[in-house]
């Protein structure tokens, strides 16, 4: 099933980062994210040995399958295939998208990070299923993040491609509405949910805000 057929699962995309979780068990964090309405969980633990990521990934695969959330693996096509994930997400400096597609065929959703409209358009042409756009705002989560691109980049990418796009980078409850209004279909977050005292509550608040703005946008479009 193509990614576009699964977008009804919601606009909140949670990327893991256990250094922000306050020592809580991985299983508890993932369950709370999904309980709060996250439709997509990305396993991203860049500093862990691959063996540990694989073991945790098996647990995440079990939870997401049971609870109806999409499971995406960051960077590692081999892990995504071994874990029978729903998809893999690659950046501009990872394995090229065309090579990823040759490896996974149509079995996996493939997401691509883009920092410019040109990168997003190239990803669409080469078979990406969705685009992660950012960093939108300053972020402390990703230490090697590029300078923030601002909300304008979301509108530029929205004009360039027809794929679903997710804003990422520094997105919190107070600014998520602006991300959706600027053209994103959803928001990808790390610390805003994983680092919250009440993970499920934080996810629920973000989902509520995303849905509110989408509904408003839809109503506005119907009246123009």
- Residues serving a catalytic function are 44, 113, 142
- Of 201, 180, 219, give the one whose Cα is nearest residue 36: 201
In our burial notation (b when 16+ CB lie closer than 10 A, e otherwise), range 79-99 reads: bbeebebbbbbbeeebbebee
Q: Which helix (H) or strand (E) holds 150?
A: none
Distance between CA 107 and CA 97 in Å, rounded?
14
> How crowded is residue 51: how many other Cβ atoms within 10 Å of its Cβ?
8
Identify the three-state secondary structure at position 109. strand
Distance between CA 80 and CA 78 in Å, rounded?
5
């Amino acid at each position: 099933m193509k990614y576009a057929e699964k977008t009804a699962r919601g606009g909140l995309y949670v990327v893991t980062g256990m250094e922000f979780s306050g020592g809580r068990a991985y299983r508890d964090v993932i369950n709370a994210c999904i309980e709060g309405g996250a439709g997509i969980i990305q396993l991203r633990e860049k500093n862990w040995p691959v063996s540990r990521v694989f073991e945790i990934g098996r647990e995440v695969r079990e939870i997401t399958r049971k609870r109806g959330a999409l499971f995406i693996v960051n960077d590692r096509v081999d892990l995504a295939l071994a874990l029978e994930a729903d998809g893999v997400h690659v950046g501009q400096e990872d394995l090229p998208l065309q090579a990823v597609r040759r490896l996974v065929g149509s079995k996996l959703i493939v997401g691509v990070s883009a920092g410019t409209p040109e990168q997003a358009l190239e990803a669409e042409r080469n078979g990406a299923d969705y685009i992660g756009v950012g960093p939108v705002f300053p972020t402390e989560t990703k230490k090697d993040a590029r300078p923030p691109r601002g909300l304008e980049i979301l509108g530029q990418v929205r004009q360039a491609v027809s794929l679903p796009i997710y804003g990422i980078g520094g997105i919190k409850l107070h600014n998520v509405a602006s991300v959706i209004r600027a053209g994103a279909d959803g928001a990808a977050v790390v610390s805003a949910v994983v680092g919250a005292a009440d993970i499920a509550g934080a996810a629920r608040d973000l989902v509520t805000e995303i849905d509110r703005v989408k509904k408003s946008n839809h109503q506005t479009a119907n009246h123009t």
